[in-house]
Amino acid sequence: MFPRQRALARIANEKVLYERQAGGDIRICVAYANVYRLAMANLGFQAVYHIFESDPRVAADRAFLPDADERAAIRTRRNPLVSFERGDALTDFEIIAFSISFETDYLNLLSFLRMAGIPLTRAARAGRNYPLIIAGGSAVFLNPEPIADYVDLFLIGEGEEMVPEFLAAYQEARAGAGRAAVPIEALAQVEGAYIPDHFMPELDECGRIARVVYRGAGKPRVNRRLINDLNRFTTASLILTRESVFGDMYLVEASRGCQWGCRFCAAGFMYRPIRYRSPDTLIEQATRGLAERDVIGLVGAEMASVPGVAGIASAVADAGGRLSPSSLKADCISPALATALARNGNRSVTVAPEAGSERMRKVINKNLSEREILDAAALLVGGGVENLKLYFMIGLPEERDDDVLEIARLTGTILERARAQKKRVGHVTVSLNPFVPKPWTPFQWDPMAETASLKRKIAMLRAALGRIGGAAIELDAESPREAYFQTMVSRGDRRVGRILERLSERECDEPGAIWHELRAIRREAADGATDLPDPDFYVTRSYTHDEVLPWDFIDHHIEKWFLHSERKKAHYEHQTKPCDVTRCTVCGAC
């Protein structure tokens, strides 16, 4: 099927759950830097598209990274990428607004611009009538620097209030200067706006950032934006399609942030303080969703601690549907929640122990004992859940081989106890992901483990699980190579953009191709045959506590000394109590 035919077929199969506007004369294309089926499962993308499309000043359209077969056709025939709704050339828009939830999609942004016929860098676009390139999303919250040379302006933070403020500033500047001459400085007044041209990193002799020279007005810090009251805004499915990866679900966002403070988790720090939607609001949204889908997907960092979640699950079950939470913390699973989740055919639930040993759960500040994990599994199985998915990480700071083998022992104990309950347990899936250090977490200074070490640990665990559970336990392990690329981008500075540019130029779309090219760059860097940085500089190096980090210019309202203190606690296996936003102000977020 030709790309345009596929787009028209997809549009015909969508159900839009809001009244669409005719639109104004500001042409904006909201782009998701990945394929359609992933974009339409992303509530952030749907929300920002709805904000733009509902504004009477804007004529909005969408665009997605083409599917693999379409990419080949675009490159072979040299047909430029066009917008989704109307099939217009992307160069005809005033603004292309990228929604980026994952750092790995930074590479896709460059591929996107290439296929649209738009020069990659700001310098190459300067003085020419190309669209303004802006970007936002959760990945941009953390570290936008790897794509800072390719984006004109970033919106750092949650968009419900910030995007309308950006539109107002843009319209005012446009009225005074004309469409083709809107000065970027006029948009700096929007709180949360980051203009990369105003910030110039300078490096020391070791290649680390020595300082950042600021050349704009106001303060050299970007204040990331947060919404205080989530109940003021509805974040749920707005456009439904069966082709989405969650095509059988109506998605509802329950919370932003997490109270537990796991030291590896970006969501637990970047969204501080934690905010919940009220149970009544969530029940109302879920009831609306049951008119469209039988399954309500409850979205957030951790769902068992959402206030009133058992009542929400029960209300959904009473209405003939079932609630599917993204992940549950074991010690927060009550008998009422377990029973409600098992009603109406919910046969699989995800629990996240994160680490197999008690020692490692103290290191990462999981605040979760083995007994609590086992009790939670027993409640779920006793309530009728047949399949369990257990989420673990390997390669964590302070980890030993014994800690990895404890994953197998804990999984085996869960399976053994489930069988002792004389309940049918169909399958236990161990989802295993290599640790990727994230900005704005206590582990931001730590390196990723060597890929060879991770491969050895995965093989060791696979063998141990096979001895314990046989066919009843499945190991689903993420590739260390993919984690390597993710770490490079997550901890990267602007020079990583040049690596991404080369990967895009050589059309490295698949993880295997990316890995082979990164290995080539590593060899060339060691031999002095390239001016590109060695990727290992960002992946396997410990960052020192006194160095300037690429993302330090963003103000997340979290004290750096607090993150450093949490890193020290990890070394001594000390835990920190969960956030109490009513009394505690230690980290600086409240």
Distances (CA, A) of 565 to 28, 187, 447, 487: 44, 37, 18, 23
**CB-based contacts of 359: which residues, under 8 Å, 6+ apart?**
403, 573
Cα atoms in the 13 Å half-sphere on the side-chain side of 306: 31
Least trusted range by pLDDT, from 203-207, 395-399, 507-511 = 507-511
Q: What is the pLDDT of residue 176?
A: 75
- Structural element, H or E, at residue 27: strand 26-32
Alpha-carbon dihedral sign for residues 329, 334, 338, 340? negative
Quick count: other Cβ atoms within 10 Å of Cβ 577? 11
Q: What is the pLDDT of residue 485?
A: 97
Q: What is the pLDDT of residue 417?
A: 86
% of the chain with per-residue pLDDT over 90: 81
In 3-state terms the chain splits into helix, strand, coil percentages (rounded to 5) of 45, 15, 40
**What is the pLDDT of the chain when averaged over all its residues?**
93
Number of H helices, E strands in the chain: 21, 21
Q: What is the pLDDT of residue 181?
A: 75
Which has the higher per-residue pLDDT, 587 or 289? Answer: 289
- Find how far residue 85's CA is from the centre of its chain: 26
Amino acid residing at 447 = P
pLDDT at 178 over 80: no
pLDDT at 330 over 80: yes
Length reported for the chain = 590
What would the pLDDT profile of 265-282 be if each residue is shown by its tens digit? Answer: 999 999 999 999 999 999
pLDDT at 435 over 90: yes
Distances (CA, A) of 511 to 107, 201, 452, 486: 11, 30, 17, 11
Q: What is the pLDDT of residue 231?
A: 95
pLDDT average, residue stretch 111-127: 94
β-pairing, 348-354 with 387-394? Answer: parallel
Q: Are 373 and 353 in contact (CB under 8 A)?
A: yes
Residue 82 sits at φ, ψ, to 5 deg, of -120, 170
Tokens of residue 454, six digits:
């991770």
Tokens of residue 284, six digits:
């109302």
Domain 248-434+452-460+558-590: CATH superfamily is tm_1862 like domain (3.80.30.20)
For the whole model, what pTM was predicted?
A: 0.95
Tokens of residue 222, six digits:
């970007």
SS3 of residue 499 by DSSP: helix
pLDDT average, residue stretch 5-12: 95
What would the pLDDT profile of 47-66 be if each residue is shown by its tens digit? Answer: 999 999 999 999 999 999 99
**Residues 125-159, buried b or exposed e (16+ Cβ, 10 A)?**
beeeebbbbbbbbbbbbbbbbbbbbbbbbbbbbbb
**CB-based contacts of 195: which residues, under 8 Å, 6+ apart?**
152, 153, 154, 184, 185, 187, 188, 216
% of the chain with per-residue pLDDT over 70: 98
pLDDT band at 150 (very low <50, low <70, confident <90, very high): very high
d(CA 557, CA 542): 24
CATH 3.80.30.20 in the chain, residue ranges: 248-434+452-460+558-590
